[in-house]
């Protein structure tokens, strides 16, 4: 008997201690809210909540632990009510409760929820029992369906937003690797410049060649040797014809064309690449 009493006493002390802690942190939090609401940041509010919930948790654990006797079995009996001011009580409650009278006792010593609340609990428990497991399962499925749908919608929205963001960054693209490469190739090796000139001068020289052909053939005695090199060169180049056809023709500046008429006219049938190659050879 005495042992039980002692246990109860210990448990109560522990309870009081926990509740005191809880109250202290509540007070601290409230005062913070009141005085520092301007500077307080949301994370620090969350910290306070976490502290409170931790303390509540430990309080709950304490109540469930085996060391604590089942408090439900204990009876609290108000022996006397008095409308007079009770100094002791005032001190204990930090001047919150002045007297142990009829007004406060029902509130403080209540063991049941308020009737309204009780009624609501009853209602919901009744509603819970109405559903058969089948219906519950159905509702559960429906619920799952809905949530998964919502999840899908959210996901697709997220994807949309991400792709939007990507698109935005591609809109704001300010440099392109291919342009860089093209620009460097043109400054370093003249790529692209040579093919351009071909477009503008390609058709003309051919016409010129045809009209000039007889004249030049007569006038130059050296022509045959040029033919030889041309054949050789053409043979050497044919493999790469497609590749080079575009790039080589730049050597056809008006000046060079006229000075090398003899060679060009003879090359009439061969590819531009071969022509330019002979041209180079002739120059060398």
Partner 1 sequence: MDQMISKVSKFAPTNEFLLQGSIMENAHDVLLHRLRGLCDNSDSPFETFTDNEMIFSMKNTTITQALNLRVRHSLIEQDSWQVRYAGMAEMGDKNRPTMVRHVIDCSTSDNIVLFLNELGFRMDHEFVIKGFYFHKGRMKVTVSKIYKMNQPGNTENLEPFSTSSLVELSVVTQQSGGEGIAEDMKSFSEQLKPLVQLEKVDHRRLQNI
Q: Which residues bind partner 1 (CB under 8 A)?
A: 173-177, 179-194, 196-197, 200, 250, 253-255, 280, 283-284
Give the torsion through C-alpha atoms of 260, 261, 267, 271, to 10 deg: 70
Nearer to partner 1, 220 or 250 (CB): 250
| Choice between 143 and 183, CB closer to partner 1 | 183
If the CB atoms of residues 212 and 256 are measured against partner 1, the closer one turns out to be: 256
220 and 265 Cβ atoms separated by less than 8 Å? no
**Least CB distance from residue 257 to partner 1, whole Å?**
11
Q: How far is the CB of 43 from partner 1 (least distance, A)?
A: 32
Kindly state the smallest distance separating residue 208's Cβ from partner 1, in Å. Answer: 16
b/e for 225-251, b at 16 or more Cβ within 10 A?
Answer: ebeeebeebbeebeeeeeebbbbbbbb
Please give the distance of CA 7 from its chain centroid, rounded to a whole number: 57
Our CB check for partner 1 shows the closer of 39 and 284 to be 284
Shortest Å, Cβ 31 to partner 1: 49
Cβ-contact 99, 89 below 8 angstroms: yes
Closer of 18 and 264 to partner 1 (Cβ): 264
- CA distances, 118 to each of 101, 104, 125 (Å): 25, 20, 11
74 vs 56: CA distance, rounded Å: 22
C-alpha span between 50 and 42 (Å, rounded): 12
For the CB of residue 233, give the shortest distance to partner 1 in the complex, in Å.
13
């Amino acid at each position: 008997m005495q042992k039980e009493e002692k246990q109860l006493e210990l448990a109560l002390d522990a309870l009081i201690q926990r509740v005191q802690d809880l109250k202290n942190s509540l007070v601290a939090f409230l005062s913070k809210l009141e005085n520092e609401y301007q500077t307080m940041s949301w994370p620090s509010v969350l910290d306070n909540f976490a502290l409170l919930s931790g303390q509540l948790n430990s309080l709950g654990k304490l109540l469930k632990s085996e060391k604590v006797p089942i408090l439900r079995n204990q009876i609290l009996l108000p022996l006397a009510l008095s409308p007079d001011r009770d100094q002791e009580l005032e001190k204990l409650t930090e001047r919150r409760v002045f007297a142990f009278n009829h007004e406060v006792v029902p509130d403080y010593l209540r063991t049941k929820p308020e009737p309204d609340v009780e009624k609501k609990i009853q209602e919901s428990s009744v509603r819970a029992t109405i559903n058969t497991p089948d219906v519950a399962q159905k509702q559960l499925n429906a619920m799952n369906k809905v949530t998964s749908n919502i999840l899908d919608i959210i996901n697709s929205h997220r994807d949309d937003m991400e792709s939007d963001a990507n698109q935005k960054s591609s809109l704001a693209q300010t440099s392109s690797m291919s342009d860089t490469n093209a620009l460097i190739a043109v400054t370093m090796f003249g790529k692209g410049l040579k093919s351009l000139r071909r477009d503008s001068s390609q058709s003309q020289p051919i016409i010129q060649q045809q009209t000039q052909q007889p004249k030049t053939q007569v006038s130059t005695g050296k022509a045959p040797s040029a033919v030889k090199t041309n054949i050789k060169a053409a043979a050497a180049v044919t493999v790469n014809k497609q590749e080079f056809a575009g790039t080589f023709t730049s050597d056809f500046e008006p000046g060079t064309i006229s000075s090398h008429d003899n060679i060009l006219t003879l090359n009439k049938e061969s590819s531009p690449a071969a022509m330019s190659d002979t041209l180079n050879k002739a120059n060398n």
